[in-house]
Amino acid sequence: MSGPMRLILASASPRRRELLAQLGVVFEVIPAQVIEHEDPNSDPKAMVAHNAALKADWVAARHPEAFVLGADTTVFIDGVVLNKPADLDDARRMLRRLSGRTHTVFTGLALRRVRDGLRLDRGEESRVTFHAFGEAEIEDYLRRVNVLDKAGAYAIQEGAERIVAGHTGSFSNIVGLPLETTKQILTESGLTG
């Protein structure tokens, strides 16, 4: 094999960057310049798988020798996908809907390398239960956390004690990158031991 193995994270998310760094792998970040599919009536598993592959494929086409990891995460409740809120009013609507209830967080992962045709796709889901809360708690949370770049208008790793009652499944998946599954596909590809 020529040269060191190169891993690229095809995401602008600072949370994904922090999580991937926890695996101890060397990587660089090149955000994919794509339009993600974000129809609220989509099948959430299919949507995140599509978007993760879209990001990975876009970057991999431009860096054919590199391993490229794409990921996409969304929140799902009542048969509706909750992506990143359009504005604070949209965030308030999402938090009202999630209050006192359990929702599912879906993440799709795609690992690509054009040089040898590597294509690995995985999905992960976790469940999160929120405390019941009212308008005052919503406003307090919005003052403390920037929710506009987060699916479902919340971050489980920021001020979660105020809104989250509990979760099942991968915590890192809820943040945006399921570490166990990510490590598994990196190992399958030969990137990590």
CB-based burial of residue 146 (10 Å sphere; 0-12 exposed, 13-18 middle, 19+ buried)? exposed
Domains assigned to the chain = 7-188 (3.90.950.10)
Q: Is there a catalytic annotation at residue 72?
A: yes
Would strands 118-130 and 28-29 be described as parallel, antiparallel, or unpaired?
unpaired
Q: Which helix (H) or strand (E) holds 24?
A: none
Over residues 120-165, the pLDDT tens digits come to 999 999 999 999 999 999 999 999 999 999 999 999 998 888 899 9
Sorted by sequence, the CB contacts under 8 Å of residue 14 that are 6+ apart come out as none
Q: Which residue out of 72, 78, 90, 149 is catalytically annotated?
A: 72
Report the chain (193 residues): mean pLDDT per 10 consecutive residues.
77 94 96 91 95 98 98 96 96 98 98 96 98 96 93 91 94 96 95 75
Read off the pTM.
0.93
Tokens of 60: 């991999």
User: What pLDDT score was predicted for residue 38?
Assistant: 86
User: What pLDDT score was predicted for residue 128?
Assistant: 98
User: What pLDDT score was predicted for residue 2?
Assistant: 43
